[in-house]
Amino acid sequence: MAQRDVGLILMRQLASGLAVPTLIADESGDLLFFNEPAELVLGRRFDEMGYLHGGEFARSFALRDEHGDPLPEDQVPLRVAMRELRAVHRRVVFRGFDGVDRKVEITAFPLLGAGGHLTGVVAMFWERKQ
């Protein structure tokens, strides 16, 4: 496997030291990493995950908007951040790998390399208590 961009390497290292649930995908949206706090939110340990293509990963959570309506794939925060190269913040409901529904706010933002090119995208989860 080719070496990852240094921005992604440093982001993963930062994420692994954060208490905020954080997920990192590559420039195609394919899952690269999520940290231990995110394991609690997503309902599965990262090391138990197989390779998941971006679309597959989003679909596996049955994402809904805050009214409970299904969220189209092109409105998934990670997808929007990647497509429009901007930060996105959105309330969603999703079903974790453990079958538990969770209400979260997601902040997603693109990672741009030294030349301004997209190297990946980051999503942070803020669990809503009610």
Q: Which residues bind another protein (CB under 8 A)?
A: 1-7, 9-10, 12-13, 16, 112-117
Which residue's CB is nearer to another protein, number 4 or number 64? 4
- 122 DSSP β-pair partners: 24, 109
Which residue's CB is nearer to another protein, number 16 or number 128? 16
Which residue's CB is nearer to another protein, number 26 or number 93? 26
Q: Are 23 and 38 in contact (CB under 8 A)?
A: yes
> What is the closest distance, in whole angstroms, from the C-beta atom of residue 4 to another protein in the complex?
6
Write the DSSP string, 30-83. -EEEE-HHHHHHHTS-GGG-----HHHHHHTTT-EETTSPBPPGGGSHHHHHHH
Beta strands at 64-65 and 31-34: parallel, antiparallel or unpaired: unpaired
Which residue's CB is nearer to another protein, number 7 or number 43? 7
> What is the closest distance, in whole angstroms, from the C-beta atom of residue 6 to another protein in the complex?
5
> What is the closest distance, in whole angstroms, from the C-beta atom of residue 31 to another protein in the complex?
14
- 112 DSSP β-pair partners: 118
> What is the closest distance, in whole angstroms, from the C-beta atom of residue 28 to another protein in the complex?
15
